[in-house]
A and B are shown apart, each in its own frame.
Chain A
Amino acid sequence: MQGSYSEKRAVGNDIPGSQIPALVAAAHELKSPLALVRQLSLALQTGDYSPKEIDALAERITLTSERALRLTNDLTRAARLEDSFFSLEPLNPHTMLEEVADELAPLYRAKGRRIVVSPRRYGLLAVANHDLLRRVLMNFADNALHYSGSQQPVTLGVTARPKQGTIRLGVRDYGPAVPADIWKRSLQPGTEHAWHMRPESSGLGVSIARQFAEYMGGQVGVTRHQDGATFYVDIAASMQMRLL
């Protein structure tokens, strides 16, 4: 028993002080879905709901748990980014957007929202890591759900940027604009101390998305609109397209 106690202390001592704000931010981010799961479970236990309502509550618990798990998986991946090897490969960005839309469709549907992919006539080819790019886009699309109203669908789109030699994958939402100061704070490396002051739930997710994008040689950004925002990731276009 004494051995295990020493082991626990050693683990605790291994956490550098610089990581504590990130841990606080992670705890803050996870609090909302966990509190929601708890409230939904308590609601189920009251016995006040019809069979149809019980099904709806159970689905909400599942979807909320999955959302929390996505965040924990992203956190784990971000913490081990330097120790891992992620290969870059040519991939179809439009297909990637469709994958993300398909995966999040049940959550959007349950919230009375829609997620669509803008049609595209000509195919593009990007160079990225499939898993990391998917996580970046899932993060943006998940965030868009939180900030969007129910009138307009969240729209995923891809555009070529030939001058820069990049491809931009964007997630357009229709909701309150992101305040400029908050956006700048959440994107600047080394300012993670600001995360825990952020009331909303996008700061940590955006910062993780930035890490993933930079690992692939890309970058994330946002275009603010009067009625929402487009969060995007720019990644390298494949040179193979030029051979065609």
Chain B
Amino acid sequence: MRTKRRIVVIDDDEWLVDTYTHTLAKAGYEVARAANALEAVQVIDTFQPDVIILDIFMPGPNGVALLHELQSYPDLARIPVIVVTNAARDIRHGALTPYGVQAVLDKTAMTPEDILLAVKRVML
């Protein structure tokens, strides 16, 4: 029986992940992290998160490749995804919805509070 909701943060910038993790853990979430898409598949598989927070541009296969991969597993495809990226303005509204993306946050404009609000919203 889980006592905390689980979140996986996937981003190659470990210092950004540290700030997200700090904010989310303080709000009572259990957080796991992955630095790239390949590592993420394993972490998601074992951690079974309730929400995925995903960067798009990472070394190796990018976030979009991971979204495609997740869609090929029915159980993982159901996990809501929040995309957090520097290129949020280049993503057409709704373009990633078919891949389970329920929110897109702009790294250049968001606040720590925004990530909490987005998590709460997609968990409703």
Contacts and interface: CB of A to CB of B under 8 A. Distances in A.
A64 B14 CA distance: 12
B15 A60 contact: yes
Contacts of A149: 35
Given A176-B36, A199-B57, A46 B112 contact: yes
A111 B13 CA distance: 10
A40 B112 CA distance: 10
A42 B108 contact: no
Interface in B14-33: 14-16, 19, 22-23, 26
Looking at chain A's contact residues, is the secondary structure mostly helix, strand, loop, or mixed?
helix
A111 B15 CA distance: 8
A147 interface: yes
Contact of B22 (A34, A36, A48): A48
Contact of A35 (B26, B108, B112): B108
Give the size range of A's interface with the partner.
20 to 34
Interface string B41-81: 00000000000000011111010000000000000000000
A179 to B, nearest CB: 9
A31 B59 contact: no
- How extensive is the interface on chain B, given as a class? 20 to 34
A35 B107 contact: yes
A93 to B, nearest CB: 28
A49 B35 CA distance: 23
Interface in A14-71: 31-32, 34-36, 38-40, 42-43, 46, 48-49, 53, 60, 64
B59 A40 contact: no
Interface of A: 31-32, 34-36, 38-40, 42-43, 46, 48-49, 53, 60, 64, 111-112, 146-147, 149, 175-176, 199-200
14 contacts: A31-B108, A32-B13, A34-B108, A38-B108, A39-B16, A40-B15, A43-B19, A49-B22, A149-B35, A176-B36, A199-B56, A199-B58, A200-B57, A200-B59
Given A147-B59, A149-B35, A200-B58, 11 more contacts: A32-B13, A39-B16, A42-B112, A46-B23, A46-B112, A49-B22, A60-B15, A146-B12, A176-B59, A200-B57, A200-B59
